[in-house]
Amino acid sequence: MSLEIQPQASPAVEPVADSIAVEVVSPPFRPGLAGWVARGVVMAAVAAVVFLVPTVRGNVEVHIYTQAVIYAIIGLSLNVLLGYTGQISLGHQAFVGIGAFTSAYMVTVQGQPFLAAIGMAMVVGGIQALVLGAVSLRITGLYFALVTLAYGTMAEESLFNIQKLTGGSAGQPAPKPMWFTTDLRYYYLCLAFLTAVVWVDWRLMKTKGGRALAAVRENPRVAATFGTDVKVYTLMAFVVAGVFAGLGGALLAHNDTFVVRDLFNFQLALVFVIMTVVGGLRNRTGVVIGSAFFSLVGYFFDKLFSGGLHVPGIKVLPKEYAPIVIGPMLLLFTLTRHPGGMGQRIRPIQRWLRGGRFSSRDTHDDPTSSGGERVSDVRA
């Protein structure tokens, strides 16, 4: 009986299904010729700012731009921790500092070539993160934050004072590598490293491990039920973050050509965290922009308000405190009111540049919207 009814019912259903399907699969938006030209112009303008502007600026300014590029590497390192694993390092100044001192020690004391020194800094960075992570992941919760905080202070007060390794308060020289002795050439070298870091980060997130991390972030229990080893993948992310931080530290050392221990204090660790969160977690472009912003804010603050910002009735705000006064305010604003950070603001622009419409609305088939964008998506 039922066999006779089915052929009758199906023709009645199918046209309905078709009409729905037609509505959903609307032809994808493609810009016209003028649209592509406009996009090309914008991309060329961005590229020109990044590649050409430093060639016409003085060495002092190029040195600061290089620092912005290196901060972007450090920001991406923290993004791996905070964005992908939902854990946070409050001792990143130690990771970066140890990378810097390792590289300086290898070049100056051991007489090793630049690449070997940088490789060593990355290895040391990875090992540190692995050990600290292994200890703190024994308990559920955010103990990595505590352990790294204590580690950072310990490094500041003890490790960085070991005369033989760091040169004590005098510091350790870290000359720029051969072929890259000018500030401009070194800037391009750092840009190349940043590109490599962005590429590695992007590819890693496409691997099984990256998808596992996304699953763990979405729901740790469900991920564990499906056989995902949460701890192993989190540790893997810690190692990646440590390697990036070590690289950032080494590049920072050779940019300054001199490593001083006082640079790596607790305030710096918090600035690293702030630039990553304000930049926008899990949005590489956002993190790069946020990091560059916080690296440059002190310098441009000084240019805008030479001698510091005169707030009526209160003391002058000097430039060296500008990042740590502005930073936390932006951080708290980002967390409570605008969880996507700068990444959320630039998302429509990114979408437009890739040939989509200029809209802030997330659509499911949009590749740029994958991975979520809110800080509060991270689960502890």
Partner 1 sequence: MPTVLSRSALTSTAIAVGLAAALVATGSSQALVIGIITGAGYGLVALGLVLVYKSSGVFNFAQGEFGTVAIYALYRVHDKIGVPLIPAIVIALAVSVAMALVTERVVIRPLFDAPRVALLVATAGVALLAISLELWLGEARPRFIQPALGRLNRLSLFDVAVSDQRMLVLAALVILAVVLALFFSRTNLGLAILGVSQEPVATELMGISVRRLSSFIWALTGLLAGIAGILTAPVAGSFAPGFLTSTALIPGFTAAVLGGMKSLPGAFVGGIVVGVAQSLAVSSPAFHSIPGAGSVMIFVLLLIVLTVRPQGLLGRA
Contacts of 252 (CB under 8 A, 6+ apart): 67, 70, 96, 99, 100
Answer for which of 54, 75, 86, 286 binds partner 1 (CB under 8 A) is 86
Q: Per CB under 8 A, which region of 66-74, 171-179, 224-232, 315-323 contacts partner 1?
A: 315-323
Answer for which of 1, 3, 13, 314 binds partner 1 (CB under 8 A) is 314
Which stretch of DSSP H or E encloses residue 316? strand 316-317
Closest CA to 203 of 238, 154, 167, 240: 240
Minimum CB–partner distance for residue 75 and partner 1 (Å): 14
Answer for which of 246, 327, 341, 356 binds partner 1 (CB under 8 A) is 327
CB closer to partner 1, 26 vs 158 = 158
Site string for partner 1, 250-269 (x = CB under 8 A): ----------------xx--
Q: According to the binding rule CB under 8 A, does residue 222 interact with partner 1?
A: no
What's the DSSP call for residue 173?
Answer: E
The burial class, CB within 10 Å (0-12 / 13-18 / 19+), for 277 is: buried
Minimum CB–partner distance for residue 378 and partner 1 (Å): 5
Cα–Cα distance between 228 and 234 in angstroms, integer? Answer: 11
Q: Per CB under 8 A, which region of 97-105, 251-259, 318-326, 357-365 contacts partner 1?
A: 318-326
Q: According to the binding rule CB under 8 A, does residue 139 interact with partner 1?
A: yes
Full DSSP string of 96-159 = HHHHHHHHHHHHHTS---HHHHHHHHHHHHHHHHHHHHHHHTTSSSSHHHHHHHHHHHHHHHTG
Cα–Cα distance between 298 and 258 in angstroms, integer? Answer: 20
Answer for which of 123, 149, 198, 224 binds partner 1 (CB under 8 A) is 149
Minimum CB–partner distance for residue 166 and partner 1 (Å): 10
Minimum CB–partner distance for residue 312 and partner 1 (Å): 14
Answer for which of 157, 218, 229, 362 binds partner 1 (CB under 8 A) is 157
Cα–Cα distance between 361 and 377 in angstroms, integer? Answer: 18
Q: Which amino acid is at 301?
A: F
Q: According to the binding rule CB under 8 A, does residue 348 interact with partner 1?
A: no
Cα–Cα distance between 216 and 238 in angstroms, integer? Answer: 14
Q: According to the binding rule CB under 8 A, does residue 170 interact with partner 1?
A: no
CB closer to partner 1, 68 vs 270 = 270
CB closer to partner 1, 286 vs 356 = 286
Look-up of token digits 């691997």 = 207
Query: Do 160 and 260 touch, CB atoms closer than 8 A?
Result: no
Answer for which of 46, 162, 196, 232 binds partner 1 (CB under 8 A) is 162
Helix (H, G, I), strand (E, B) or coil at 257: coil
Binding residues for partner 1, rule: CB under 8 A, are: 82, 86-88, 90, 135-136, 138-139, 141-143, 145-147, 149-151, 153-154, 156-158, 161-162, 266-267, 270-271, 273-274, 277, 314-315, 317-318, 321, 324-325, 327-329, 331-332, 335-337, 339, 375-380
